[in-house]
Amino acid sequence: MSEKKRTEISELGEFGLIDRLTSKFATKQNSTLRGVGDDAAVVDAGNGEVLVISTDTLLEGVDFDLTYFPLKHLGYKAVTIGVSDILAMNARPEQIMLSLGVSSKLPVEALDDLYEGVHFACEELGIDLVGGDTSASMTGLVVGVTAIGRAKRESVAYRSGAQLNDLICITGNLGAAYMGLHLLEREKRVLRDVANPEPQFEGYEYLLEKYLKPRARKDVVEQLAEEGIVPTAMIDLSDGLASDMLQICRASKCGARIYLERIPIAKQTSALAEEMHADPVVAALNGGEDHELLFTVPLAMQEKVMRMGGIDVIGHITAESTGAALVTPDGSDIRLKAQGFKED
């Protein structure tokens, strides 16, 4: 019997694997405007409008730990994760669907809590839960979320539109969710054998909120529309600034220069990083799960972007040949590297 070649998934990395599995699927339908490769698929809806559709899966033990993740927050966060991909296309979220793999160790009341969080997020965002699926899981809890949104065809912001000299902009601040996760993990380790654990979170409430209950930045997409700005490229910051910036560079065939001292980092993020002898910049670059938006606009839009408030310009787009670099305060360049997938 001839031996079949066995390739380890780690040899390809996440993005290499997706490429390998999907590269043979050329699109056939005229209505499919964008398939695999962006935050969401884009489908022609007629009348100059498009629907954008995205799906995500959250697995217990991989994406969340129920020993410290309240189910109400998990429900809220699942909606944020789904809707954030819609917002990253510069589209308005309208509906979600939710699939559950339910483990028998959970009582019905726990699922009530999960759906209370889903309901809260849907109310806050003004979107409808329109379906889903429920089955039993032999492992842990599985939550799948599909989100649907709408946009004018010419307003869609793909990852692939960044142009030379465009400004690189970021909403909110980075690394807070990552430090929130580390705080929860630390308390879990410390309190493992304590009878009545009382975790110490004082002064770090913001970090916990950013990890457990991140808000989808619908306000940003609304403000962009008010200012008449269509970003040339946009992505949801789910994997960390380094990885997500490289995604824009790869899709737009460009390079980037990001100035380290311009990366917005919250006080609590720096404080906890210092306490844990970690580097807050590493948290911002590699942390992920911030669900802020990273986007590019033409240089001429600088004033309009600054007028929005809460946006930081952290660098600019360069030629592809220069690659993506992080510029340190002393002026030296560090090549941006992504975690989670292999470059080149």
Judged by CB under 5 A, the residue of 39, 113, 289, 290 near Mg ion is 39
Residue 62, judged by CB atoms within 10 A of its CB (0-12, 13-18, 19+), counts as exposed
Nearest to 214 by CA among 230, 233, 236: 236
Contact range with ligand ADP by CB under 6 A, out of 16-24, 211-219, 273-281, 296-304: 16-24
Please report how close the Cβ of residue 56 comes to ligand ADP at its closest, in angstroms. Answer: 5
The CA-atom distances, in angstroms, between 164 and each of 4, 104, 302, 320 are 46, 54, 15, 9
Q: Does 60 bind Mg ion (CB under 5 A)?
A: no
Please report how close the Cβ of residue 238 comes to ligand ADP at its closest, in angstroms. Answer: 5
Distance from C-alpha of 208 to C-alpha of 268, rounded to nearest angstrom: 10
Nearest to 88 by CA among 39, 43, 52: 39
Q: Considering only CA atoms, give the Rg of the chain.
A: 21
Distance from C-alpha of 114 to C-alpha of 191, rounded to nearest angstrom: 25
Judged by CB under 6 A, the residue of 36, 130, 190, 306 near ligand ADP is 36
Say which entry of Mg ion, ligand ADP, none residue 290 contacts (CB below 5 to 8 A, set by partner kind). Answer: none
Distance from C-alpha of 250 to C-alpha of 344, rounded to nearest angstrom: 10
Contact range with ligand ADP by CB under 6 A, out of 14-22, 102-110, 220-228, 262-270: 14-22
Is 41 or 224 the residue whose CB approaches ligand ADP more closely? 41
Contact range with ligand ADP by CB under 6 A, out of 36-44, 163-171, 268-276, 308-316: 36-44
Distance from C-alpha of 315 to C-alpha of 169, rounded to nearest angstrom: 7
Judged by CB under 6 A, the residue of 44, 56, 65, 209 near ligand ADP is 56
Say which entry of Mg ion, ligand ADP, none residue 244 contacts (CB below 5 to 8 A, set by partner kind). Answer: none
Distance from C-alpha of 234 to C-alpha of 244, rounded to nearest angstrom: 10
Exposure on the CB side of residue 308, measured as CA atoms within 13 A: 23
Distance from C-alpha of 307 to C-alpha of 223, rounded to nearest angstrom: 10
Please report how close the Cβ of residue 53 comes to Mg ion at its closest, in angstroms. Answer: 13
Please report how close the Cβ of residue 277 comes to ligand ADP at its closest, in angstroms. Answer: 30
Instruction: For residue 40, give the H/E element and its range.
Output: none
Task: Mark 77-96 with x for binding to Mg ion (rule: CB under 5 A) and - for no binding.
Answer: --------x-----------
Residues listed for the chain? 344
Q: Does 239 bind Mg ion (CB under 5 A)?
A: no
Judged by CB under 6 A, the residue of 7, 10, 20, 22 near ligand ADP is 22
Task: Mark 216-235 with x for binding to Mg ion (rule: CB under 5 A) and - for no binding.
Answer: --------------------
Q: Does 236 bind Mg ion (CB under 5 A)?
A: yes
Give contact residues for ligand ADP (rule: CB under 6 A).
18, 21-22, 36-39, 56, 85, 238
Give contact residues for Mg ion (rule: CB under 5 A).
39, 85, 236, 238
